[in-house]
Amino acid sequence: MNTMEEVKNIVLVASGKGGVGKSMVATNLAVALARNGYAAGLLDADLYGPSVPLALGTSGQHPITEKQGDREVFSPISNYGVKTMSLGYLMNKESAVIWRGPLASNALKQLLQNTLWGKLDYLVIDMPPGTGDINITLAQQLPGARALVVITPQQMAVADGRKAATMFRTKGIDVEILGVVENMSWFTPEKHPDEKYYLFGQGGGAELAGELNVPLLAQIPLVSDACDLGDCGKTIFASTSAPLVAAFELLSETIRHEMDVLI
């Protein structure tokens, strides 16, 4: 049984370094797609720091498992219209994952292939940061998947995003890059919605997108309540910031057009 056979499109959300908001982008992109009527799934492939259960308000839940032939399969956990699977559902939150590359890659392969995804228009995968064994193995196992590179505007993040893009374009991996997402593009105070403060500089997303010859798909503002919402299991669609919500609505619509999906 191939649990992936009814998954139409796979989006790999990647970054060259941690701390740029990759998981936030992946989670809210999946929710945005579901809100627009698409069957969406989200795989938390960041095995060493699984954050999707917290972000989606599903911490403490455990998937139903069953035997099918000689393997154990999982029913995904759903919230906000998104089917999710994460190592975080299978271990205690106090536990640390201390695995070498091959063992971690095998665990991720089982999460991906043993989850009963059903019919999905999009499966969004929150990749681990960096360009290590897990990222390479996962990308090679998913022919036809396409990638988003998430950065912040600062030059250090641009340099690390460039490395992630190089990995995807390496011979033998050959994953098409849909575009660049610039997170934390500017800060807007809640009481002064017309003001913009460029805390991390300007132009990094456009610079990297130009180098890679791909679109700058979104510029996502830094909003004061976004972190608080994620910490209490709510998505950005509960935010009072219209620009933040609009950025993810636009990103989901752009992804749909870039992938040219027929539902």
Q: 70-102: per-residue pLDDT in tens?
A: 778 889 999 999 999 988 887 765 555 545 555
Closest listed residue to residue 235, CA positions, set 72, 18, 7, 25: 25
- The fold of the 7-259 domain, in CATH, is Rossmann fold (3.40.50)
CA 244, 245, 249: angle at the middle one, nearest 5? 120
Per-residue pLDDT band for 192 (boundaries 50, 70, 90) equals confident
Is-contact 233 58, C-beta < 8 A?
A: yes
Q: What is the mean pLDDT of residues 228-256?
A: 88
d(CA 163, CA 103): 24
Please give the pLDDT value at position 65. 84
| Domain segments of the chain as ranges | 7-259
Nearest Cα neighbor of 53 from 17, 90, 107 is 90
Helical spans, DSSP H, in 36-180: 52-55, 101-113, 133-141, 155-168
Give the separation between CA 87 and CA 49, rounded to whole angstroms: 9
- Enumerate residues 6+ apart whose C-beta is below 8 A from 138: 12, 45, 105, 108, 112, 125, 127
Contact call for residues 205 and 216 (beta carbons, < 8 A): yes
**Distance in angstroms (rounded) separating the CA atoms of residues 157 and 108:** 26
Q: Is 5 exposed, middle or buried (0-12, 13-18, 19+ CB in 10 A)?
A: exposed
Residue 50: what pLDDT? 80
Give the C-alpha separation, 176 to 46, whole Å: 21
Confidence of residue 183 (pLDDT cuts 50, 70, 90): very high
262 confidence band (pLDDT: 50, 70, 90): very low
Q: DSSP label at 16?
A: S
Q: What is the pLDDT of residues 138-147, one digit of tens each?
A: 888 888 899 9
How far is the C-alpha of 52 from the C-alpha of 27, rounded, in Å?
Answer: 7
